[in-house]
Amino acid sequence: MATSLTSHRPLLAIALKVAAIGLFTGLSAVIKSVSDVVPAGEAVFFRSFFAIPVIVVWLSMRGDLKHGLKTTRPMGHVMRGLVGSSAMAMTFMGLGMLPLPEVTAIGYATPIFTLILAAVFLGERIRLVRISAVGIGLLGVLIMIYPRLSSGMDMSSTAFVGVMLILGATVARGFVQIHIRRMVMTEQTAAIVFYFSVTASLLSLLTLPFGWVMPDLTTLLLLISAGIIGGVAQILITSSYRFAPASMLAPYDYVSMLFAIVLGYVWFAELPTLVMLAGASLVIAGNILVIWRESRLGLVRGKAKSLTDPKGG
């Protein structure tokens, strides 16, 4: 299989993973920059549709285009597209309401929610280490969002709504993770990557009657670039798992905070607060416990991980 481990080249794997994380963070910055004028559904369309040519070329070069797109679970792809595109839309809306570093930090809770959802829906057992990881991670989330909730659950507050959207997106990505764990048992990586972009593009068109706009040239180019960047980033992150195990690469997800801080400051004059950084540190600590436990158990998560990008559900 094209996405299986073909050789152990850790430096190449790390370079591919870090490059992908940088591109995904840049993609978030691009979407945030147009969020005031472009509705989330339209942004999801451009992000998904213009990734398709990139993915098709990649699959063709790998020899996966002819046989790799066969599927035995078409409705599984539809469900993945529905939940994944919903997560993407909520993330894009949240990006217009919250600082980029804060959105990035809250998104780190995805593995924590995945653990909880896997216990509920897959019957996976949660023992002491995992319970500790969940507790630490959820405490970190509460610390991060507390400043946004301290004035009460005010639905007129942009920051409060933004936090709820990003939390919703994070939970949805958790659902995507456990759904993909089932899909990879029968479906090719090529099929999962390709059909997500297709279904997300089609589903996003359903939002067309709800206020799409005709973007100016600069905005149009930014939207198209978001799709291309997303497609390239997906290829890089998927390819990275061919050269090193997921447990080794997982900690490099947190490089995104450095990218988010730099881009947030340079592009949007945003700086993370100490409270947010403290909460993010706890979430990261919880995730590292999860990574350690997963590697000790010898569970193969790399295939599913490579198909769930930070901003694509």
The pLDDT of residue 140 is above 70: yes
pLDDT of residue 250 exceeding 50, the answer is yes
Q: What is residue 310's predicted lDDT score, i.e. its pLDDT?
A: 60
Percent of the chain with pLDDT over 70: 89
Report the pLDDT value the prediction gives residue 243, as an integer from 0 to 100: 86
Q: What is the pLDDT of residues 21-80, one digit of tens each?
A: 999 999 999 999 999 999 999 999 999 999 999 999 998 988 888 788 888 889 999 999
Tell me the average pLDDT across 269-291.
Answer: 91
Per-residue pLDDT of 107-119, as tens digits, reads 999 988 988 888 8
- In this prediction, residue 157 carries a pLDDT of 80
Query: What are the pLDDT digits (tens) for 208-227?
Result: 999 899 999 999 999 999 99
- pLDDT for 54 equals 94
Read off the pLDDT band of 6 (50, 70, 90).
low
Question: In this predicted structure, what is the pLDDT of residue 3?
Answer: 41
Can you give the pLDDT at residue 152? 60
Mean pLDDT of the 166-193 span: 89
Poorest-pLDDT segment among 10-24, 197-211, 286-300:
286-300
pLDDT > 70? residue 204: yes
- Rounded mean pLDDT of the chain? 88
pLDDT of residue 151: 63
Answer yes or no: is pLDDT of 294 > 80. Answer: no
Q: What is the mean pLDDT of residues 80-90?
A: 95
272: confidence class by pLDDT, cuts 50, 70, 90 = very high
Q: What percent of the chain is predicted at pLDDT more than 90? A: 58
pLDDT of residue 308: 67
Per DSSP, the residues of the chain read -TTS-----HHHHHHHHHHHHHHHHHHHHHHHHHTTTS-HHHHHHHHHHTTHHHHHHHHHHHT-TTTTT--S-HHHHHHHHHHHHHHHHHHHHHHTTS-HHHHHHHHTTHHHHHHHHIIIII-----HHHHHHHHHHHHHHHHHHHHHHTT---TT-HHHHHHHHHHHHHHHHHHHHHHHHHHTTTS-HHHHHHHHHHHHHHHHGGGGGGT-----HHHHHHHHHHHHHHHHHHHHHHHHTTSS-HHHHGGGGGHHHHHHHHHHHHHH-----HHHHHHHHHHHHHHHHHHHHHHHHT---HHHHTT--TTT-
Q: Residue 125: is its pLDDT beyond 80?
A: no
